[in-house]
Each structure stands twice: as structure tokens, then as C-alpha cells.
């Protein structure tokens, strides 16, 4: 199955998926406020006894594209395709963080440490370690949540597909994302911030988790047209083979 145009298609989709997954892990260390970013006044929401503005990790800007790629790969390459790239992504993320920790432990050159003092960074080594040296609780929570979310997405996607056939792409794509990300949004926060050293209160955990899921919910709905656009482009690229590829993906016994 993975020959010619089909093989090239899988390589492109998998590459885009893996790049976004890796980037989301590293840039996710930054927390941004949504309202000031959009030029708005803070909403000061009150949820589960917690009051604050809409704060997110920068990683949430990339995860919607990971969701879209998951559903597109699911449609054309089935469970095997999604599971393959999911385990590959986890392996590459672990490798990337291992190398990042190794890079942190290397002895910095003296002149480099203070090279950005004029730019407001007095200790470049400390800044480097703070950005790339994310805590093990955060890394573990993110990886476990990612794995659970992906496997759940696959299962729900194909369960819906069995009832709808080739119709209602939006239902299986968006529906599987909404369900899987409900679990993902809370698992990562619970492991990283409730079980981890920060020891969040249950109110804070539920409030931040609900806000993050609310964003993912709206993002999934907003990106539904992008899924149809991706399908149209891929069907045109594969031509007469498109239906055969999707049929094989729908068959859990398909070998690729």
C-alpha cells in the first residue's frame, strides 16, 4: 500500500504530524494570556472558585494541527497508521528531551553565558536550562496524555465510521477529537500539576482544565473545514486510488 503516491502522502502527513508534536512539547513551556494577545481586556472568569484571565501554553496553538493530521491519517491509513506515528512521536519526543538534558549539562563557554546581557538576559545558560529543561512531571504528563488521547481518538473515529460509512466526515473527525481531547486536557494537568511538585488544588485543576478544553473544543469546530479541504486535496492527488486507499484504511485487517 505504501508505494508511489500513497507512500509519499504518508511521509508528508507523518512528517507534518511529528514536527508539530515535537514543537508543541518545546514551545509549550511558555504560558500566554489570550486576551492581551488579542488586544482585549482580561475576562476575569470565575470557575470552580478560581478567578483569572484565559492563560494557555503556546503548545495549544499547534495541537489543533496535530488533531487534524491524526484524523486525516486515520481516514487514509487507518488504525495502524495512527498508532505507528503516535509511538514514533513518543519515541522522538523522549529522544529530543534526553538530548536537551544532555545539552544543558555541557559546560558553557564563559563569554556565551553573558553574551545577551544587553538584551536583558544576564545568564544565557540559566535561560537555556529553564526553557529546554522541563520538569519530568510535565514531560511524563504530556506523553501519557498524548498517548491516551491518540489511542482514544483512533477507537472513537472508527466506531463512528462503522455507523456512518464514508458519509459525515465531520462527525467522525470532530467527534473523535472532542472526546479524546476531553481526556487529554485533564490527564496532562493532573499528572504535571496535581501529582507533581506544584500540588494544584482541585479547584485550580478543574478550572484550568475546563478552560483549556474549551479552547480545544472551539478549535476543533473551527478547523473542521480544513479537514474537508485536506480530503479534497488528497483525493485529487491520489485520483482513482483514493477510494481503494480509504477502503483499506477502514478495514482493520489491512496490511500496509
Q: Which of 2, 3, 8 is nearest to 234 (CA)?
A: 8
Question: Can you give the residue range of the structural domain that contains 184?
Answer: 4-106+131-249
What pLDDT score does 125 carry?
92
Q: Judge whether residue 119 has pLDDT over 80.
A: yes
| Position 113 in a domain | no
Tell me, yes or no, whether 117 lies in a domain.
Answer: no
Residues 152-180: what's their mean pLDDT?
82
pLDDT digits (tens, 9 = 90+) for 10-68: 999 999 999 998 888 888 778 788 888 888 887 777 878 777 777 777 888 888 888 88
pLDDT of residue 255: 46
Q: Is residue 193, in this structure, part of any structural domain at all? A: yes
Among residues of the chain, what percentage have pLDDT more than 70? 95
List, for residues 80-94, the tens digit of each pLDDT value: 888 899 999 999 999
Return the CATH number at 63.
1.10.1760
Domain count, the chain: 1
More confident residue, 198 or 224: 224
What pTM was estimated for this model as a whole? 0.83
Residue 116 belongs to a domain: no
> pLDDT averaged over the chain?
84
3-state secondary structure of 254: coil
CA gap 10, 5 in Å, rounded: 9
The neighbouring-strand residues paired with 56 are 32
> What is the rounded average pLDDT of the residues 105-113?
92
In a 10 Å sphere around its CB, with 0-12 CB exposed, 13-18 middle and 19+ buried, how is residue 180 labelled?
buried
> Would you say residue 111 lies in a domain?
no
Residue 161 lies in a domain: yes
Amino acid at each position: 500500500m505504501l508505494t508511489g503516491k500513497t507512500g509519499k502522502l504518508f511521509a508528508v502527513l507523518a512528517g507534518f504530524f511529528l514536527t508539530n508534536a515535537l514543537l508543541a512539547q518545546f514551545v509549550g513551556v511558555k504560558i500566554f494570556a489570550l486576551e492581551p494577545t488579542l488586544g482585549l481586556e482580561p475576562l476575569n472568569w470565575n470557575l470552580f472558585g478560581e478567578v483569572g484571565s484565559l492563560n494557555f501554553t503556546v503548545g495549544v496553538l499547534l495541537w489543533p494541527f496535530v488533531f487534524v493530521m491524526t484524523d486525516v491519517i486515520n481516514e487514509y491509513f487507518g488504525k495502524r497508521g495512527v498508532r505507528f506515528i503516535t509511538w514514533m512521536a513518543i519515541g522522538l519526543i523522549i529522544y529530543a528531551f534526553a538530548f536537551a538534558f544532555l545539552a544543558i549539562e555541557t559546560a558553557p563557554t564563559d563569554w556565551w553565558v553573558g553574551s545577551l546581557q544587553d538584551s536583558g538576559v544576564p545568564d544565557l545558560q540559566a535561560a537555556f536550562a529553564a526553557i529546554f529543561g522541563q520538569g519530568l512531571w510535565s514531560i511524563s504528563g504530556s506523553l501519557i496524555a498524548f498517548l491516551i488521547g491518540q489511542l482514544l481518538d483512533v477507537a472513537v473515529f472508527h466506531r463512528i465510521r462503522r455507523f456512518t460509512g464514508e458519509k459525515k466526515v465531520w462527525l467522525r473527525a470532530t467527534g473523535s477529537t472532542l472526546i479524546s481531547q476531553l481526556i487529554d486536557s485533564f490527564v496532562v494537568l493532573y499528572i504535571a500539576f496535581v501529582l507533581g511538585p506544584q500540588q494544584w488544588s482541585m479547584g485550580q485543576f478543574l478550572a484550568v482544565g475546563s478552560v483549556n478544553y474549551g479552547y480545544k473544543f472551539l478549535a476543533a469546530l473551527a478547523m473542521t473545514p480544513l479537514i474537508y479541504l485536506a480530503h479534497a486535496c488528497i483525493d485529487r492527488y491520489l485520483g482513482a486510488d483514493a477510494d481503494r486507499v480509504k477502503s483499506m484504511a477502514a478495514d482493520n485487517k489491512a496490511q500496509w
